[in-house]
Structure 1
Amino acid sequence: MNVKIIKISLLCLAILSGIYLSACKKMDDSYKQFVEKGESIYIAKADSIKIYGGRNRVEVTWLLLSDPKVIRYKLYWNNRKDSLEKPVTKTGEVDTVKAMLTNIAEGTYFFDIYLYDKLGNSSIKSTKSGKVYGERFQSSLLTRAYRSITRSGTDVNVEWMFADSAVKQLDLQYTNTTGELKRVTVTDKKQSVTRLVGMPVNGSFRYRTVFEPEAKALDLFYTDYITVQLTL
């Protein structure tokens, strides 16, 4: 019985050893391009990539660690159908590289970044996905609706419906009782009521909704202004 257990244990150990060696071989293959004449050539890769989407444009940024060998980068997107190659200037510190891409079709992209030294040795690939916005996103936007409008003396209170998560603010305009054009900006999405001070009886106001498709987006998107005619 003990002999049988020992044989099974040895078999399991052999299988695990084979899996480990296979994994090591795959790792060695991944870094094979960085070994030349027995010496390892390591180029620092792009670090902490961030993608900022906008209207048919996108900004790709990353940190360039203090590797003095890096002299240029190449950025691929659109399944490597498009690319951008530029030199970089090192300062001896951790630098931030920014690449602005314009005239980009709306959609989701994967951005691949390689860094190179003067001999053409490259870093391993750094990849991050991001979105570019356009007419499809614009056409999907709906003006934030209001629930009710009530008067309180010379003022009017507008109660709003729930705000979409992408809503950044509301822009309102109206002419008050003294003939002055007033502009009101509502940036707090949790604010359910907006007071329009000095609203004439049976006056009117117009407003639009401003959208930010993602945090720190390059561009804001706006609905058309709509006019609300009051009967109070």
Structure 2
Amino acid sequence: MNIKIKTISLLFLVVFSTIYFSACKKMDDSYRQFIEKGETVYIAKADSIKIHGGNNRVEVTWLLLSDPKVSRYKMFWNNGRDSIENSVTKTAEVDLVKVMLTNMAEGTYFFDIYLFDKMGNSSVKSTKSGRVYGERFQSSMLTRAYRSIKRTGNDVDVEWMPADTAVKQVDLQYLDTRGELKKIVVVDKKQSSIRLVDMPVNGSFMYRTVFEPELKALDLFYTPYVTIQLTL
């Protein structure tokens, strides 16, 4: 009985050892292909990406920090259907890369950026979304409305309605009683009224509204001038 147990135990040990060493060999073979190609080289990714939209154009910027191996970039958008690539020169300082894309259709885009070294090693993907503006945005702009117009002596006070959040300023101009052209720029969106000094009786003024669709947008958008004839 003991002889049978010992025989079975020995047989089990032989089978287990064969399976174990076979598995180890397969693992060694799997890793050897990577070792033979050399160790993996990691490239620093695009840092601090910023996107500024404009009128059918967009600017994408990012920083190159301390990795001296970076030699070029490739950027994709439209789900990878469109791309641009170019070389970069890394200095000892923090470098700023700027890419301007023109003739862009209006809409929201996701930009995927990869950095490469001279051997073709790639960074991980960096992604940032941004918006391009155009005719649809322009058609949505409304001239800032005024609440009332009141004359006080030779002057006229215009009281404004609240401004849209995208309004940057109001450009206003008129001819005073001496025939001189006066220009006023209302840049404070919270400013509720302005005074037109020396406004002629039955004179007129014209104004337009200036929109900045996002902070530091590449372009400003303007409504047509509206002429207001006074009958006070």
**Sequence identity (%):** 78
Equivalent residue, structure 2, for 1:99? 99
**TM norm structure 2:** 0.84
- Partners of 2:208 and 2:36 lie apart in 1 by 61
- Partners of 1:173 and 1:197 lie apart in 2 by 11
Deviation at 1:91, TM superposition (A): 1.1
| Count of matched residue pairs | 199
Equivalent residue, structure 2, for 1:60? 60
Q: 1:199 to 1:35 in 2, by over 3 A?
A: farther
**TM norm structure 1:** 0.84
- Partners of 1:52 and 1:40 lie apart in 2 by 35
Q: 1:35 to 1:51 in 2, by over 3 A?
A: farther
- Partners of 1:196 and 1:54 lie apart in 2 by 33
Unmatched tracts of structure 1, length 5 or more: 1-33
Equivalent residue, structure 1, for 2:169? 169
| Dislocated runs of 4+, deviation >6 Å | none
What is the DSSP-based 3-state SS (H/G/I as helix, E as strand, rest coil) of the residue aligned with 2:136?
Answer: helix
Equivalent residue, structure 1, for 2:154? 154
1:181 aligns with 2:181: yes
Q: What is the identity, as a one-letter code, of the residue corresponding to 2:130? A: G
Equivalent residue, structure 2, for 1:84? 84
Pairwise mapping of residues 6-21 of structure 1 onto structure 2 (< 5 A)? none
Q: 1:150 to 1:49 in 2, by over 3 A?
A: same
Equivalent residue, structure 1, for 2:70? 70
Deviation at 1:35, TM superposition (A): 8.6
Kindly indicate whether the alpha-carbon contact (under 8 Å) linking 1:35 and 1:41 is maintained by their aligned counterparts in 2: no
CA RMSD of aligned residues (A): 1.3
Equivalent residue, structure 1, for 2:42? 42
Equivalent residue, structure 2, for 1:14? none
- Partners of 1:153 and 1:214 lie apart in 2 by 40
Equivalent residue, structure 2, for 1:195? 195
**CA deviation digits over 1:146-194, x for unaligned, max 9?**
0000011111000000100000000001000000011100000010001
Pairwise mapping of residues 124-139 of structure 1 onto structure 2 (< 5 A)? 124-139=124-139
- Partners of 2:107 and 2:138 lie apart in 1 by 13
What is the DSSP-based 3-state SS (H/G/I as helix, E as strand, rest coil) of the residue aligned with 1:42?
Answer: coil
Deviation at 1:36, TM superposition (A): 7.6
